[in-house]
Amino acid sequence: MLLSPISATRQVTQLSPLDETAGPRSERIETLEFAMQMLEQLFQQVLLSFILDRLDDSPSAAPRPSEAPPVTPAFAAPPPAWAPPAAPPDAPAYTQTPADAAPPVDAPRGARATSLDALDRSFDPGDLTFVPIRSPEEARRRDAQIHDEHDFAAAVDEAAARYGIPPELLRAQVQTESWGFGNSSNPDQYLEAMRHRGDLDRGDNASRGLLQISGNFLDGGEWSAGGPNNPRVGGRSVSREDYDNSITLQLDVGAANLAQRIADGGGLREGLAYYFSGSFDPSRATGYLEKIDAGLRDEYAQGL
């Protein structure tokens, strides 16, 4: 039985010794008890109305978007010296996620792996998800929310979550590719890293930005069908200008590329190896994988 404060007071009053022959005093007590009974009924009505209102306002479980069937990668053209691979016939299945069902901005922190071996053992390529790379307009709106290294770290985790990549892995890769997190003495390093250029001997195909994407992936270049132009990630051509000036686009394109390499290679090590060397053979990328492993233990990059 629900016992209101008024009920409790009334029970104490009822347990008090009363002189029933006291005349006017007895009448006053009876009047007081009657008033308290009315107040108790009013309190219970208000309480019941409040509970019913809360029940009416409780959210119902939102329907989950239906899963689309797996999509066959569409970039089987013979590669040049280095290019994204065609998916092997036995490539693991992955989930094609509708554009309006992208993961939330806040990626869960949880317990994070501190070695590539541990991460590789626990990761299932079937957990990868594919959503369209964001448009330049969407990217600019997201960029406007990045004001410091903590916002940048959250943006990295968000990009990882969009494609089902462990967030600690993408953080380690950003630190390995461009030293994007820097350290505590240069918290704005990500602003310099997004302008970083590598492989300058390759001319227009030089690698660029936070995740060192090769120029041939951009502007509809010859590798773009295995990158942002792939149907798995929306089939969108990303221009060099938009890419160079957007943290969000650099993270989206890099995460989307890595997710495709992992899906096609069947594992984290294989995907990372191809991202670096153009071969799914991890022995061809030993030094790179060691740097990724060290990045998973980088206290500054992982601790923001």
The mean pLDDT of the chain is 80
Architecture of domain 132-303: Orthogonal Bundle (1.10)
What was the pLDDT predicted at 25? Answer: 56
Residue 206's contacts (CB-CB under 8 Å, 6 or more residues apart) are: 197, 198, 199, 200, 214, 215
Tokens of 298: 């980088």
The one-character DSSP state at 36 is: H
pLDDT in tens, 162-202: 999 999 999 999 999 999 999 999 999 999 999 999 999 99
More confident residue, 39 or 54: 39
> CA-to-CA distance for 189 and 138, rounded, in angstroms?
24
What was the pLDDT predicted at 85? Answer: 63
Burial status of residue 8 (CB atoms within 10 A of its CB: 0-12, 13-18, 19 or more): exposed
The residues spanned by each domain of the chain are: 132-303
The answer to whether residues 266 and 111 touch, using CB atoms and an 8 Å cutoff, is no
SS (H, E, C) 174-229: HHHHHCCCCCCCCCCHHHHHCCCEECHHHHHHCEECCCCEEHHHCCCCCCHHHCCC
Rounded to the nearest 10°, the torsion over CA 189, 192, 193, 194 is 130
Tokens of 247: 């943290």
> CA-to-CA distance for 86 and 72, rounded, in angstroms?
10
What was the pLDDT predicted at 106? Answer: 47
pLDDT in tens, 63-113: 443 444 443 333 333 334 456 665 554 544 444 444 444 444 444 455 788
What pLDDT band is residue 45 in, cutting at 50, 70 and 90?
confident
Of the candidate ranges 39-53, 131-145, 174-188, 226-240, the one whose mean pLDDT is the lowest: 39-53
What was the pLDDT predicted at 2? Answer: 43
Q: What is the pTM of this model?
A: 0.68
pLDDT in tens, 230-248: 999 999 999 999 999 999 9
